[in-house]
Amino acid sequence: MIRQEKWEISLTTLAPLHIGGRDNPLTGMENAVARIRDRLVIPGPSLKGALRHQIERYLIDTYYDAKNQRWPQEHLALQPCMASAGDVSGEEASLIAKGKYRKTSDEDRKVRSGCVYPSKYGICPVCYLLGAQGLTGFVQVSFLVSEEQADALYSGRIDRAKGTIAHGTNRPYELVREGAQFKGSLTVLRSDDLRGWTFGQPRRLANDKTPDQWLQSGDWSAERILDELIVKRLEGIGAIGGYRSKGFGQIQITVKQVGARG
Ligand SMILES: [Zn+2]
């Protein structure tokens, strides 16, 4: 039996928002906003990526020893990885060198940062919750779908000289207007009898070892994880999508529980 909990995610745009969809050759729209059929959407993977970033930042803000530029030994199991399967960029390498993110392999002297198991400190909390590299996690976020329709959209173009967006001109970038409402769901897997998984508990492998070192201390109850690492972090996503440096994409998210289902 699988037991899941559902939460409703409500998102309001506080500024124009652009999350790219596919180019549409019929309309000539080169930078269309993401949609499914006729509904405007915020894709689940975009939201999940933003949530992942929030959890990473929260763990770093809470546990990283900024003064000594290192991750404290006693909390190494809580150090997040970058969930990257390949090589990291120069900027990312410096975050790893400072100990903010995990260094998970050094084969061929290349710096990598993605959870692997077996490894000394196991799978990081972010990968436990959201999954990584073929491992499923405990938390899923759906696509968020817009409540209203056509009036949620307008178009503009990038002013290349000013780096801003000019309205109503011939090179259209679709934008969702400020004040648009989107809704979707967060699903948390509370238990899966077949796999023997319980949310907030270390997963047991065949040899009775666990990849979930960070849960061995007993500091993290399921309710603490839900509140501190999921709900508050989702609500803490302040911006999403493109042109954020220009003040676009500011959002407000609220999360509320809608009940359990079997
Ligand atoms: Zn990880």
If you search the block for the tokens 């839900």, which residue do you land on? 226
Instruction: Give mean pLDDT, residues 91-96.
Output: 93
The residue among 37 and 75 whose pLDDT is bigger is: 75
* Cα torsion 209, 133, 115, 50: sign: negative
Looking at residue 186, its amino acid is: L
239 CA → ligand 1 middle, Å:
23
69 CA → ligand 1 middle, Å:
20
If you search the block for the tokens 């809608």, which residue do you land on? 258
Distance CA 119, CA 121 (A): 6
Supply the pLDDT for residue 262. Answer: 45
113 CA → ligand 1 middle, Å:
8
If DSSP codes are grouped into helix, strand and coil, which group holds residue 218? Answer: coil
Residue 67: other Cβ atoms inside 10 A: 6
219 CA → ligand 1 middle, Å:
19
Instruction: Give mean pLDDT, residues 18-28.
Output: 61
Band (pLDDT 50/70/90 cuts) for residue 2 is very high
Mean pLDDT of the chain: 86
Pair 34, 44: CB distance under 8 Å? no
How confident is the model over 236-249, as pLDDT tens digits? Answer: 999 998 888 878 89
Instruction: Give mean pLDDT, residues 193-220.
Output: 91
Supply the pLDDT for residue 220. Answer: 97
Band (pLDDT 50/70/90 cuts) for residue 223 is very high
Supply the pLDDT for residue 111. Answer: 81
How confident is the model over 119-176, as pLDDT tens digits? Answer: 889 999 999 999 976 778 999 999 999 977 655 566 666 566 666 666 554 456 678 8
Distance CA 104, CA 111 (A): 8
Instruction: Give mean pLDDT, residues 177-192.
Output: 94
11 CA → ligand 1 middle, Å:
27
Percent of the chain with pLDDT over 70: 82
80 CA → ligand 1 middle, Å:
6
Alpha-carbon torsion angle 197, 198, 203, 207, nearest 10: -60
176 CA → ligand 1 middle, Å:
33
The answer on pLDDT for 82 being more than 70 is yes
Instruction: Give mean pLDDT, residues 59-70.
Output: 97
Pair 11, 250: CB distance under 8 Å? no
* Among the listed residues 245, 240, 185, the one whose alpha carbon sits nearest the alpha carbon of residue 14: 240
Tokens of 209: 């070892």
The answer on pLDDT for 216 being more than 80 is yes
Distance CA 152, CA 170 (A): 19
46 CA → ligand 1 middle, Å:
18
**For the ranges 24-28, 145-149, 189-193, 207-211, which has the lowest average pLDDT?**
24-28
pTM above 0.85?
A: yes
How confident is the model over 100-114, as pLDDT tens digits? Answer: 999 987 666 678 899
Supply the pLDDT for residue 160. Answer: 61
124 CA → ligand 1 middle, Å:
4
Backbone dihedral region for residue 233 (phi beyond 0: left; psi -120 to 50: alpha; all else: beta): alpha
Supply the pLDDT for residue 31. Answer: 60
Residue 206: other Cβ atoms inside 10 A: 5
123 CA → ligand 1 middle, Å:
5
β partners of residue 7: 186, 257
Tokens of 187: 């699903």
66 CA → ligand 1 middle, Å:
21
114 CA → ligand 1 middle, Å:
5
